[in-house]
Chains A and B, each alone.
Chain A
Amino acid sequence: MSGNVVPKGTYLLVYLSLLGLTLFTTGAAFLNLGPLNPLVALTIAVSKAVLVLLFFMHVRTSDRLVWVFAAAGFLWLAILMSLTLSDVLTRGWQRFLL
């Protein structure tokens, strides 16, 4: 029942990586990278979320059914966002077509 006990060092390493990535994303926000700024910030945020999901939330060592349930939430979110933004972000394009 005790299942997979994750070594203390793994948690510590994930923790330090999360702190490091927070420092990195804050530092990157001070640089003017133009349209790359949001991309960098989101990439780092997704990396941090994946670290938390895989290690702190034990998705890495969970069975496949947990993977399916965890992925389902993000899949539906991806549908919500992509369908919504595919409308909103392309509304200005009609002037190229007319």
Chain B
Amino acid sequence: MSEDRSALAHQFHSLEQQFEASRLGMWLFLATEVMFFGGVFTALSVYHSSYGRIFDEASRHLDLTLGAINTAVLISSSFTMAMAARSAQLGEQRRLGGYLAATIALGSLFLAIKFTEYFHKFEEHLVPGLHFSYPGPEAPRAQLFFSFYFTLTGLHALHMVIGVGILLVLLGGAAQGRYSSLYHSPVELSGLYWHFVDIVWIFIFPLLYLPGLRH
């Protein structure tokens, strides 16, 4: 370990302790993120308890095919991210680069599909506040549903954009051989963030896209 003292900050006894401290810090941040998204999900359940029927009907206007494809894309990106963290752990430099690049590609594909969906909603006048039009007397309630749709998926997409940015920095670091089996916490911690964003989508998909199917 002595040859790798450079990675050890002076306040820590060992790389092990340093890694555990930074991992705990990441989990603390993720706990605040659970509350951040949790607040929006709670608001959605409150309004769904009043306007459930119209919310479920408005859900039919979401693109189930693209939503399902995006779910698979995001789960695949979580798998490649987990493999990237594993490669970093084992000190496999080339594989780390490959898996990081694959994760970036899948994350970008997710965003591309997401923005295609947004564009369709814009064309269909389903963006709240921007010439929103919805047939029937329940239009204000439907607009509320689409507000939740854009808030939740927009905040999620913002997290994805930040995630892709972080992965690009990691890819640059990996190209310079900055990570080794002794020092790989940036890859591991970014992975935690990436998987958390995946979990948020795991709840967005059934709560927003699926209720419309049986109507």
The chain A residues found within 8 Å of chain B, CB to CB, are: 1-3, 5-6, 8, 11-12, 14-15, 18-19, 22, 25-26, 29-33, 37-38, 41-42, 44-45, 48-49, 52-53, 55-58, 62-63, 65-66, 69-70, 72-74, 76-77, 80-81, 84-85, 88-89
Partner of B207, one of A30, A33, A41, A62: A41
Does B86 make an interface contact (CB < 8 A)?
yes
Q: Given the known inter-chain contacts A5-B89, A8-B86, A11-B86, please indicate yes or no for A57 contacting B192, CB distance below 8 A.
A: yes
Interface residues of B (CB under 8 A from A): 1, 15-16, 19-20, 23-24, 27-28, 30-35, 38-39, 41-42, 45-46, 49-50, 64, 68, 71-72, 75-76, 78-79, 81-83, 86, 89-91, 181-184, 188, 191-192, 195-196, 198-199, 202-203, 205-207, 210-211, 213-214
**Which residues of B lie under 8 Å from residue A76 when comparing CB positions?**
31, 34-35, 38
Q: Are A52 and B78 in contact (CB under 8 A)?
A: yes
A30 close to B214 (CB less than 8 A)? yes
A2 and B206 contact, Cβ closer than 8 Å, known pairs A8-B83, A69-B28, A88-B46:
no
A18 to B78, CA, bound (A): 10
Q: Using Cβ atoms and an 8 Å threshold, which residues of chain A touch B90?
A: 2, 5
Q: Are B202 and A11 in contact (CB under 8 A)?
A: no
CB <8 Å contact, B199 and A49: yes
- Of chain A, the residue at the smallest CB distance from B91 is A2
C-alpha spacing A8/B90, complex, angstroms: 12
Cβ–Cβ contact B195 & A56, under 8 A: yes
The 3 A-B pairs with the shortest beta carbon distances in the complex, nearest first, are: A73-B31, A73-B34, A41-B206
A87 to B, closest residue via Cβ:
B46
Closest-CB distance, A62 to chain B (whole angstroms): 7
| Interchain CB contact under 8 A, B27 and A70 | yes
Residue in A6, A8, A63, A81 whose CB lies within 8 Å of B45:
A81
CB <8 Å contact, B68 and A22: yes
Is the pair A80, B42 in contact by a Cβ cutoff of 8 Å?
A: yes
Distance of A85 from chain B, by nearest CB (Å): 6
CA of A74 to CA of B203 in the docked complex: distance in angstroms?
A: 14
Chain B contacts of A26 at CB under 8 A?
64, 68, 210
**B210 to chain A: which residues have CB within 8 Å?**
25-26, 29, 37, 41
Given contacts A5-B86, A29-B214, contact A66 B24 (CB under 8 A): yes
Given contacts A22-B72, A77-B34, 18 further A-B contacts (CB under 8 A): A1-B182, A1-B183, A2-B90, A2-B181, A3-B19, A11-B79, A14-B79, A26-B210, A30-B213, A38-B211, A41-B207, A45-B203, A45-B207, A57-B191, A58-B188, A69-B24, A73-B31, A73-B35
